[in-house]
Amino acid sequence: MDTALKPRSTGRLMIVGFLSPTVLLLLFMVAYPIFSLVHYSFYNFSALNPDKGMDWAGLSNYEYLLSDSGIWKRFVFTGKFVFLCVTMQMILGIFVGYRLQKTFRGRDLLFTALMLPMMLSPVVAGFLWRYMLNSEWGVVNFLVSLFGFAKVDWLGQAGPALWAAAVVDTWMWTPFIILLATAAFRGIPETIYEAAEVDGASAAYVFFRITLPMSAPVLFIALILRLIDSFKQYDLFVALTGGGPGSSTETVSFAVAKTAFSYFYTGEASALAVILLCIIMGLAMILVRHLSNMGARH
Amino acid sequence: MKFRSTLLASATLAGFLGAASVAAAETTLTFVWHAGTCADALVGIAKDYPDKSVKIVPALVPYGPEWHNKIASEFAIKGDAFDFAMWDSQSTAEFAGGGHVVKMNDIFAQSSYLKADLFPPASLSQYGEYPDGSGQFYGLPANQDAYGLMYRKDLFESAEEKAAFKAKYGRELRVPETYQEAKEVAEFFTRPDKGLYGWGQMGGRDYDFATTASNSFLWSFGGELYNPKTNEIAGYLNSPASIDGVQAYVDMFKFGPPGSGNWGFDEVNASFQQGQLAMAMQWFYFNGSNADPKVNKFAGVTGFGILPGAVGRDGKFRRQFSVGGQGMGINKYSKKLPELVKFMEWYFQPEQQKRYAAVCQTGLRAVLESPDWQGLNSYNAQFANALQYLNDYWHLPEYPVLLDILQEEVSNAISGSKTVEEALGDAAKRQERTLERAGYTIEHKGDAPDVPDTVISPVGQDAIVPVNG
């Protein structure tokens, strides 16, 4: 009896021993901040004035935020921005990645060059593009005027500012999709392409019926990562538009950061962060479930 | 061999201990400021501080919200990562109100040199007093600044231009004394086909760009941001006079390069230095670089003046513009207060402040009033004169929120997504909501006059007082 129990309990101890550092670290790094965030969201207080104490606010921070039309505008803007830039990044990334999977002279050099924007800090990219998009002396309007078009006030008007931000984000992050797409495309066995060629399949058929479906799980992961990352975009907007004109390019993350560290309305910022967290988690869960189903099918 | 090894080890240990004791004797005083000429000047001067055991270490950040947030975040954790900092005059209420700043009155009482009368009373009040009129100071006017005007002398002095202007407007061409004049002069010099524009100003959404600029118009036309006695904002911020002022500001973008509605000070400087602007509204802070031929190829023909005023709808002339610059405040959680006070006693001596004032604007009265300093360049005397026209916005702890709301709404007016009246009306509503949430009582009397300046520290004059002639 004893001899049968011993190995089992030793095994359990080992499992606990191996898992506990990670679990403790996760509890400290993830669970504790999230619980604190939720806890703070029910209070009115300012981290800048801790001596004034915390007043119980119940759901009033949530009520205030959800009844504020300004916050809804920021959600709408964030949604438009995410849709625009993720769509452009996926289309461009898959297209360029498909071309780059084929061997040609200078491919590695081109591949490395394409990766460069991704290595820049978003703040640096924001300032860089801010000057390039300057309506009077920026290189973008110089090129626009070369083609005989009128100069555009890219960052001074709400519509062009959204497009400008989406283009800059696409410039920065399409390389990420290219990287993953190329890796996924290269992982498809050559024999499948050879069989398709023998059967007389067209290039479009091969791309849509073989390449895309077989690399779908990897592309889907890329999509999830880009969706989450775009949804919490903040630093690019700080440098590129400062959230303006008006508040037309303020994302929800921008509003969270401003409320937390500029206004120091800690309770309200926590409530907004909780709302944002719920949305991102909900979105991620749907996509991850879809990914799991996709994996099961494959 | 063993003896030699022991000796070597002892010598090494002694060396380490010696180095450690020297390191321990060195005191570092860290300050936070935005990066730029003035921070560099402070660091340069501090290198000559006679007490070599004290080292002044800068912790510089870019101008803008990161700078405010760095200071505020440290205060939030009651940290001592910095010992002193330069912050905007309006932030004094937020930081001192939170109990994070050493009261200067205590320093004045203990120090044999640092006294309130070293500084002009108005400057000390603007950069350090909280609450207004209380006589309690939390900062010293370390780096004063004011909005100014720079213009192309070659254009204003050209006989051809003068004649053309007189033919068109029936009066002499001169550096404008009112915004009404400025509008005509700006219109006259706006020649997009030749790459020349009449007027450059900030309008960006970032930090306080649009607000500091538009406030200068708003106050000059007799408007006010609020009534500090009743806390009423509606009726004051969106009064007819305030709307006149902000409308005049928005209209001036017609005479600037396309897209200048989102400019910050860098863009104003760059455009002026490229010869695109006949006139520009800019902080005195930048006059040093704009007078430098290595930076500005038009430096030799650049004139510096004081911003125009305006004749308001009540017929009164007012000249009011935004205070700039920063006060120097002490972190209450610093553990090096005695060393810091000693350094400040040395730093605020005229000798050091003359060096500082050669590149930036000091707050030390002895230097500001000295003819040597005023004659040092073409703009110091103008700056000394400009101080009397300075005005400041809310000295309230809610400043960051009130500022952000006004920034957003003025930016909406600039981009055309709202009319000036709508933008100021919305700003007034949102700002009142902010004050109410913060616990202020707002007495809605609803009797704000069309020109609120007439009831809140009136500055209206019967005739234009020229200063740029």
Closest CA relative to residue B230, chosen from B445, B450, B454: B445
Write out pLDDT tens, residues A15-55: 999 999 999 998 899 999 999 999 999 999 999 988 888 99
The answer on A228 and A109 residing in a single domain is yes
For residue A47, list chain B residues with Cβ-Cβ distance below 8 A. Answer: 76
| Predicted pLDDT at A4 | 52
What are the start-end ranges of the E strands in chain A?
43-44, 55-56
Q: Is A138 exposed, middle or buried (0-12, 13-18, 19+ CB in 10 A)?
A: buried
Give the nearest chain B residue to A266 (CA atoms). Answer: B76
Nearest to A243 among B78, B205, B276 (CB): B205
A117: closest CA of chain B, how far (Å): 23
Contact A247/B408, CB-based, under 8 Å? yes
Is residue B409 a contact partner of residue B429, using CB atoms and an 8 Å limit? Answer: no
In a domain, residue B332? The reply is: yes
In a domain, residue B462? The reply is: no
Residues of chain A numbered 48-77 and touching chain B (CB < 8 Å): 48-51
Write out pLDDT tens, residues B68-94: 999 999 999 999 999 999 999 989 999
Tokens of residue B209, six digits:
């760009």
In a domain, residue A58? The reply is: no
| Predicted pLDDT at A298 | 62
Tokens of residue A34, six digits:
């999230």
> Which H or E run contains B27?
strand B27-34
| Predicted pLDDT at B30 | 98
For residue B267, list chain A residues with Cβ-Cβ distance below 8 A. Answer: 134
In a domain, residue B269? The reply is: yes
| Predicted pLDDT at A5 | 53
Write out pLDDT tens, residues A83-111: 999 999 999 999 999 999 888 899 999 99
Tokens of residue A123, six digits:
């703040």
**Cross-strand pairs, B317:** B311, B461
Other Cβ atoms within 10 Å of A102 Cβ, number? 9
A148: closest CA of chain B, how far (Å): 16
Does the pLDDT of residue A1 top 50, yes or no? no
The answer on A125 and A9 residing in a single domain is no
The answer on B169 and B113 residing in a single domain is no
- Is ipTM > 0.90 here? no
| Predicted pLDDT at B17 | 46
**Cross-strand pairs, A55:** A44
* Structural domain total, chain B: 2
| Predicted pLDDT at A102 | 84
In a domain, residue B466? The reply is: no
> Which H or E run contains B150?
strand B140-152
> Which H or E run contains B67?
helix B65-76
Average pLDDT over every residue of A225-235 = 93
Residues ≥6 apart with Cβ < 8 Å to B215: B225, B321, B322, B391, B393
Average pLDDT over every residue of A207-224 = 94
The answer on A74 and A22 residing in a single domain is no
What is the rounded CA–CA span in Å between residue B207 and residue A247? 13
CA B113 to each of CA A28, A35, A126, B48, B135: distance values in angstroms, whole numbers, following the listed order: 51, 52, 47, 19, 19
* Structural domain total, chain A: 2
The answer on A215 and A107 residing in a single domain is yes
The answer on B213 and B72 residing in a single domain is no
Q: Name the amino acid, one letter, at A280.
A: I
Q: Measure the N-to-C terminal CA separation of chain B; round to a whole number of Å.
A: 87
Domain boundary among the residues B359, B391, B423 is at B391
| Predicted pLDDT at A7 | 67
User: Residue B99 sits in which domain range?
Assistant: 2-144+324-391
Contact B259/A47, CB-based, under 8 Å? no
In a domain, residue A211? The reply is: yes
User: Residue A25 sits in which domain range?
Assistant: 2-40
Q: Angle, nearest 10°, between helix axes A212-231 and A69-100?
A: 150
Percent of chain B at pLDDT exceeding 90:
91
A282: closest CA of chain B, how far (Å): 31
The answer on B433 and B361 residing in a single domain is no
The answer on A72 and A36 residing in a single domain is no
How would residue A294 be classed by pLDDT, with cut points 50, 70 and 90?
confident
- Which residues of chain B fall short of a pLDDT of 70? 1-25
